[in-house]
Structure 1
Amino acid sequence: MAVVPISLDALSTHTPEQARQWCAQLEAGDILYFPSTPVPLPHDEIDFLLGQQQTDSSLHKNIAYKPNLDKLSGVDTSTADAQAVKRLQEVMRQYSQRVTGFLTQFLSPYQSRWQLDYASFRPQEEEGRDLPLRRRNDLLHTDAFPTRPTYGARILRFFNNIHPSRTRDWVVSDPFAAIVRQFVPQQIAPRKDGPLGRSAKVLGRAIGLGAAIPSLKRSPYDDFMMRFHNFLKENSRFQAECPKYSFHFPPGSSWMVYTDTVPHAVLAGQYALEQTFLVKPEALVRPEISPLRLLEEIAESRLV
Structure 2
Amino acid sequence: MISPIVSVSREGRAPGVASLVEALEGGAVLMFPGLDFPFSPFEERFVERPFADGKAKNVNIRGGAAELRGASGSAEEQEALRQLLIRYRRFAEGLIDRYLPAYTGKVALAGTSYRPFDVDRRKLSWRRDDTRLHVDAFPSNPIGEKRILRVFRNINPKGEPRRWRVGEDFGSMAEKFLPRLPGYSPLSARLLAALRVTKARRSEYDHLMLHLHDALKRDMEYQAKAPQADVHFAPGQTWVTFSDLVMHGAMGGQYMLEQTAYLPVAAQVHPEKSPQRILAAKLGRPLQ
TM-score with structure 2 setting the length = 0.87
Aligned to 2:86, the other structure's residue is in SS state helix
2:123 counterpart SS class: coil
**Match in the other structure for 1:110:** 103
Task: Tell me the equivalent position of 2:6.
Answer: 4
- Displacement after TM superposition at 1:102 (Å): 2.3
How many angstroms apart in 1 are the aligned matches of 2:64 and 2:44? 26
Amino acid at match of 2:32: F
Q: Aligned partner of 1:3: which letter?
A: I
Letter in 2 for 1:34: F
Contact 2:96/2:104, CA 8 A, preserved across alignment: no
Paired residues of 2:245 and 2:275 also in contact (CA < 8 A): yes
* Aligned match of 2:196: none
Offset from partner CA, 1:102-151 (integer Å, 9 cap, x none): 21121101232111111111100112423122111211100011222211
Structure 1 residues 46 and 269, CA gap change in structure 2 (3 angstroms):
farther
Q: Aligned ranges for residues 36-185 of structure 1 at < 5 Å?
A: 36=34, 38-44=35-41, 46-53=43-50, 57=54, 59-76=55-72, 80-164=73-157, 165-184=159-178
User: Cα gap change, 1:234/1:54 in structure 2, threshold over 3 Å: closer, same or farther?
Assistant: farther
Q: Give how far 1:54 is off.
A: 5.4
Instruction: State the Cα distance separating 1:46 from its structure 2 match.
Output: 4.7
Residues 213-222 or 46-55, more deviating: 46-55
Decide whether the 8 Å contact of 2:52 with 2:116 is kept in 1: no
Report the CA distance shift for 1:56/1:101 in structure 2 as closer, same or farther (over 3 A). closer
- SS at 1:89's partner residue? helix
Q: 1:38-81 deviations in whole A, cap 9, x for unaligned?
A: 24133436503214415675x211112114341122224xxx22
Change (3 A) 1:41 1:209: farther
Does the Cα contact within 8 Å between 1:170 and 1:246 map onto a contact in 2? yes
Match among 249, 272, 278 for residue 265 of structure 1 = 249
CA contact (8 A) 1:152 1:222 kept: no
Contact 1:41–1:95 under 8 Å retained in 2: no
The equivalent of 2:25 in structure 1 is: 27
Alpha-carbon shift at residue 207 of structure 1 (Å):
1.8
Report the counterpart of residue 197 of structure 2 in structure 1. Answer: none
Contact 1:68/1:116 (<8 A) preserved: no
Distance 1:45 1:174, change over 3 A: farther
Q: Report the more deviating stretch, 66-75 or 106-115.
A: 66-75
CA contact (8 A) 1:67 1:119 kept: no
Q: Which moved more, 1:279-288 or 1:124-133?
A: 124-133
Q: Does 1:292 align with 2:276?
A: yes
Q: Which amino acid aligns with 1:127?
A: D
1:227-246 equivalence runs, <5 A: 227-246=211-230
Deviations 1:193-250 (A, max 9, x none): xxxxxxxxxxxxx324476543322111112111211211111121111111111111
Distance 1:139 1:121 in 2: 21
Shift of 1:266: 1.0
Percent identity, please. 31
CA contact (8 A) 1:39 1:98 kept: no
Please, what TM-score do these two structures have when normalized by structure 1?
A: 0.82
Instruction: State whether structure 2 residue 210 is matched by structure 1 residue 226.
Output: yes
- Superposition RMSD in Å: 2.2
**Residues 4 and 211 from structure 1, CA distance in 2 versus in 1: closer, same or farther, beyond 3 angstroms?**
closer
3-state DSSP of counterpart to 2:230: strand
